[in-house]
Amino acid sequence: MDICWNTRAKRQAGRDWFGTWPVLTKGIAPELHFSADVPASARSNDLPKPLPSNPLSPAPATQSLLRGKRVGMVSFSPFPFDPRPRRATAALLNEGMTVELICIGEEKAPRRETLNGIEVYRVPIAKQRGGKLVYFYQYSAFIIISSLIFAWRSLRKRYDLIYVNNMPDVLVFCALVPKMFGAKVILDLHDPMPELMTTIFNLAENSLSVQLIKWLERWSIARANLVLTVNVACKRIFSTRSCPAEKIGVVMNAPDGKIFTFRAADSYGTRSNPSTKPFVIMYHGSLVERNGLDLAVDALALVREAIPFAELRVYGHKNAYLERVLERAREKGVQDCVHFLGPRRLEDLVGEISGCDVGVIPNHRSAFADINTPTRIFEYLAQGKPVIAPRTPGILDYFNTDSLFFFESGDAKELAEKIVYVSSHPEVAVEIAVRGQKVFLAHTWDEERQTLVNLVSGLYERTLR
């Protein structure tokens, strides 16, 4: 079971497996056909390359533990567009591991391909927002199919590690068969599901649905050897209700340093003609109610008298919520100052951030927003821009009033006051941004990547003792 395969044998095994696939999945995914016959233009060239190694340098201790090990990763998101799995795979590849990844597919993406050394298998299930039954169907179908893939491939050659990205937490079910054959299991909890579902569906904390989700969280965590999460606030929550703190590691969602290269906050100089030059307020990210774009529009309406040339630039994917926000802007008479500019690649966002005057994180108060540490904060700071953010535990764990401008979640009036202050006190804004950049530099992806590698290596160090 543990013999090494050559490339031809691997390809043949893949053909054998996918040849039997329609039989194994009959009634689950009858339309599932894996083919790489897709034009090159439909493939992604946006994957991070593994870091170059220096043959003259001594190999780090971690390489002797991780090199050559086989990883199966699963993510209910399209690859390579979800940044966290994308960066994790690059980090593991750089340590000499081989990575196979199962994810959901998009219309033009090939069902199976190799991207920068990662074997990618895409399950053609469309990810859609909707009610509880929609989520239940999507999650159940994906879990069943992914479990079959991992189980079959474990029979051909054992995995050393299964890396599971939530949501959902119970996606860890896919790792049960590989774990029987000796694989270690990592459960990477991007989001705490009880808090997120409470926010999305407006559920009471003591409702039956939330209690069930909490039970599933405990069950899922118990199946893992190591739990990863995105910040200190989430670690506190998981360690309080689901497992000991010693089982949890924190790897933050830091921006990719190859894309968001550092630019000093004091490198921009002073604004010329501040009385006529547009004062650009920027919002980018998911356009969902909890992220509060409507609050930013309300604040814009309040600052127009103090800052006549203020404008709000919005980047993201158009949806029904955006249409409601734009209608709100028309009702408040600020439709001419709200500019929806559509989605942008991360590489293109860098230039947009450099052209703004302040970044806003206008979250409404919610169970999820209270514990979230938005990556957007670090993206603005990487480019030396001041940030206005809600005064919540997930942010206050890392920043204080010396490094960010704060407002009370959901309070458009206080958000407007902070925008006016940033506009009228540019020197102070730069000083705050400079101190915020010190926090950013302590949590760059280079730092977080090494934390990830150390945590994964620790699984095998404990085995050797």
pLDDT tens sequence across 365-408: 999 999 999 999 999 999 999 999 999 999 999 999 999 999 99
Range of the domain at 410: 265-442
Using the CB atoms, write b or e for 194-207: b if 16+ within 10 Å: bbbbbbbeebeeee
Reduced to 3 states, what is the DSSP secondary structure of residue 260?
coil
- 74, part of any domain: yes
Among 17-31, 144-158, 177-191, name the one with the lowest average pLDDT: 17-31
Proportion of the chain above pLDDT 90, given as a percent: 73
Count: domains in the chain: 2
- Whether pLDDT at 27 is above 70: no
* pLDDT level of residue 116 (50, 70, 90 thresholds): confident
Same domain, 184 and 131: yes
Contacts of 163 (CB under 8 A, 6+ apart): 71, 72, 73, 74, 88, 92, 186, 188
Query: What pLDDT sits at residue 277?
Result: 86
**Residues present in the chain in total:** 465
Same domain, 294 and 162: no
- 384, part of any domain: yes
Same domain, 437 and 449: no
- 47, part of any domain: no
Same domain, 283 and 174: no
Report pTM: 0.81
Same domain, 213 and 180: yes
- Whether pLDDT at 161 is above 80: yes
Same domain, 120 and 183: yes
Mean pLDDT of the chain: 86
Please answer whether residues 284 and 262 qualify as being in contact, where contact means their C-beta atoms are separated by less than 8 angstroms: no
- 86, part of any domain: yes
- Whether pLDDT at 240 is above 90: yes
Neighbours of 38 (CB within 10 A): 13
Same domain, 293 and 347: yes
- Whether pLDDT at 49 is above 80: no
Same domain, 453 and 379: no
Same domain, 454 and 407: no
Same domain, 276 and 223: no
pLDDT tens digit sequence for 308-318: 999 999 999 99
Query: What's the angle, vertex CA 151, arms to CA 150 and CA 157, rounded to 5?
Result: 80
Element (H, E) at 204: none
Neighbours of 384 (CB within 10 A): 21
Long-range contacts of 115-121 (CB under 8 A, 24+ apart): 115/43, 115/44, 115/47, 115/79, 115/80, 116/47, 116/48, 116/49, 116/50, 116/90, 117/50, 117/93, 118/47, 118/79, 118/89, 118/93, 120/79, 121/34, 121/149
Cis peptide leading into 255, omega within 30 of 0?
no
CATH number at residue 327: 3.40.50.2000
Same domain, 201 and 346: no
Among 216-220, 323-327, 345-349, name the one with the lowest average pLDDT: 345-349
Same domain, 329 and 373: yes
- Whether pLDDT at 137 is above 60: yes
